[in-house]
Amino acid sequence: MTETQLAQSPILERIRSLLSAETMPVHLVGGTIRDALLGRPIHDIDLIVPVDAISLTFRLANVLGLPAYVLDDKRDVGRIMVPGNGLTIDIARYRDQTLENDLRGRDFTINAMALPIDAQTTDAVIDLHHGLDHLRARRIHIIHPQSIDDDPVRALRAVRFASHLGFTLSDETSAAARAAGVLLPGHSSAERIRDELNRILSSRAPNLGIEMLHTLGLLEIVLPDVARLDGLTQSLPHFEDVYRHTLRVLHYLAAIILLVGGTPAVADWEVDIAQLLSPYREDLQSHLARETNGGTSGTLLLMWGGLLHDIGKQPTQTVEPDGRIRFFGHDEVGAELAAKLLSSYSFSNESIKRVRTIVTGHMRPLFLANENHPPSRRSVYRYFRNLHKAGLDVALLSFADHLATHDGPGDRTTWESLLTVISGLFDVYFHQYEVAVAPPRLLDGKAIMTILDKPPGHEIGRLLRLLEEAQATGEVTSHEEAITFIRQQALEG
């Protein structure tokens, strides 16, 4: 709560000096104040003014030499982009004529504080709704009884803030969020709900966010397939029902993603994974950072895969006469349920395909580990042929799935077998891709049609796939061997 904390961003210092000369009042507001007071890095700078916000946006952008655009013409909101670090500067007109009314119309007290642009101390914070007290108490509190009813998606936002900040919800906020749940489908767009769920899954404790949604009765509204897993029992070695297993998977998966990012390992299992990841860390970081069409990162899609990987178990559960519980085909059924859910939230086709593939293939590394020997070249080729780049996500998810099943590494032999399998998968994908995953074709379709004197069709495609596999496994290494192989396969086919 000191000057240093409020000036963490150099751009903020420059803005302060430029805007202090404005004749109208300019205030920092919302998350900018909250994060500064918490000593958190400032990623977004929010400013409010009585009038002409868009005009001020472009005047400020011109002085700063930065790009700007109209974010919302009707509400008089402009945005300045700060290249390089993703920081944005939003300037908005008061929502309701006065600063006091603007602050009252916000969601939670910790987001309803303002600071004059030329001030830098906590004494100057305008706090009409006890936001400072709630920050100290680490509590999310609504401003007035209608705060969430005015915008039901704020029920999800309350969970998001609690999950990200490690805060709790006040009783009043919990009650309001629970009551507003029924309003979500009819009053909030699918895209806004999706964005809040994305942010919850992007927190360091996504399992706590999902559990909070469930406690508030919101999970059954926004993620009904996940809510239906509660109480769904499963046999050993699982020690929890499917829902709690899923929460544990999210917990471990978030920790594994941090290890990929370079966070130091502490627990023994973290050390094992960190050592395995070491040669591939930069490649995996690039994979997880890469966005699909629609702007969804690989990290977020992996978290969705973890959340949805077992949703096919509820419709496929069977109990055998000896009491053993099975879920035949839950991977395929779950993949279709996941695709349907993500489609309802307007994810891009590319994002849906990635998560569908993760859910479909989530058990493959565990099956390979059960063979108790390093995967063969053929097994690795078929793994990536079916899963493509999502095979990397599935490998990371399999770590979390195993750890959640055993509440840790479990049996050392089984754990080391999984480590060996995943190390082999990563090594082939990142170091032998053009040899063992997607070798350059020795013959193309046209050449095969000429050799066999056959027209285009499914048979040519089948032979191409067989040839690629034979090259990946080392059975065919030359043009001449490829011709012989094709002729033999055509005769046998």
| CA angle centred on 31, ends 132 and 86, rounded to 5° | 150
Closest CA to 417 of 398, 404, 433: 398
Predicted local confidence at residue 468, as pLDDT: 92
Supply the pLDDT for residue 43. Answer: 81
Residue 465, pLDDT > 70, answer yes
Distance CA 216, CA 162 (A): 13
CA distance 358 to 380: 16
Enter the pTM of the model: 0.91
- Integer angstrom CA distances of residue 38 from 5, 209, 221, 338: 8, 20, 32, 37
Instruction: Considering only residues 328 and 12, tell me which one the structure prediction assigns the higher pLDDT.
Output: 328
For residue 208, give every residue at least 6 positions away whose Cβ sits within 8 Å of its Cβ, in sequence order, or none: 162, 163
pLDDT, residue 50, reads: 96
Is 308:337 a contact under the CB 8 Å cutoff? yes
Task: Please tell me the distance from the alpha carbon of residue 480 to that of residue 61, in angstroms, as a whole number.
Answer: 65
Q: How confident is the model at residue 94 (pLDDT cuts 50, 70, 90)?
A: very high
- Computed over every residue of the chain, the mean pLDDT equals 93
Q: Are 464 and 448 in contact (CB under 8 A)?
A: yes
As a whole number, mean pLDDT of residues 153-159 equals: 97
81 vs 83: CA distance, rounded Å:
6
- State the pLDDT confidence band at 119, using cuts at 50, 70 and 90: confident
- For domain 1-137, the CATH architecture is 2-Layer Sandwich (3.30)
Dihedrals phi, psi of 310, to nearest 5 degrees? -115, 15
For residue 19, give the H/E element and its range.
helix 10-19
pLDDT at 1: 41
Got the DSSP string for 45-86?
Answer: EEEEESS-HHHHHHHHHHHHT--EEEEETTTTEEEEEETTTT
40 pLDDT band, cuts 50/70/90, is confident
Average pLDDT over every residue of 467-473: 91
Nearest to 285 by CA among 307, 257, 249, 264: 257
Q: How far is CA 388 from the centre of its chain?
A: 19
How far apart (Å, rounded) are the C-alpha atoms in residues 116 and 99? Answer: 11
Residue 192 three-state SS: helix
Give the percent of the chain with pLDDT over 70: 98
Checking if the pLDDT of 250 tops 50, the result is: yes
Look at residue 84 and tell me whether its pLDDT is greater than 90. Answer: no
Asked whether 393 and 401 are in contact (CB, 8 A), the reply is: no
Give the separation between CA 298 and CA 463, rounded to whole angstroms: 33
* Domain 139-222 CATH assignment equals 3.40.50.300: no
Supply the pLDDT for residue 5.
45
pLDDT (tens digit per residue) in 404-454:
999 999 999 999 999 999 999 999 999 999 999 999 999 999 999 999 888
How long is the chain? 493
Check if the beta carbon of residue 310 is closer than 8 Å to that of residue 366: no
Mind listing the pLDDT tens digit for each residue in 180-216?
999 998 888 999 999 999 999 999 899 999 999 999 9
What value does the mean pLDDT take over residues 305-319? 97
Q: How far is CA 300 from CA 43, 256, 291, 439, 467, in A?
A: 19, 13, 9, 30, 36
Nearest-angstrom CA–CA distance, 484 and 476: 9
In tens, the pLDDT along 144-153 reads 999 999 999 9
How would DSSP label each residue in 237-298?
Answer: T--S-HHHHHHHHHHHHHHHHHHHTTPPP-SHHHHHHHHHHGGGHHHHHHHHH-B-TTS-BH
Give the per-residue pLDDT at 3. 43
| Domain limits, the chain | 1-137, 139-222, 237-437, 445-492
What pLDDT is stored for residue 6 in this prediction?
54
Task: Find, among 343, 68, 22, the residue nearest to 194 by Cα.
Answer: 343
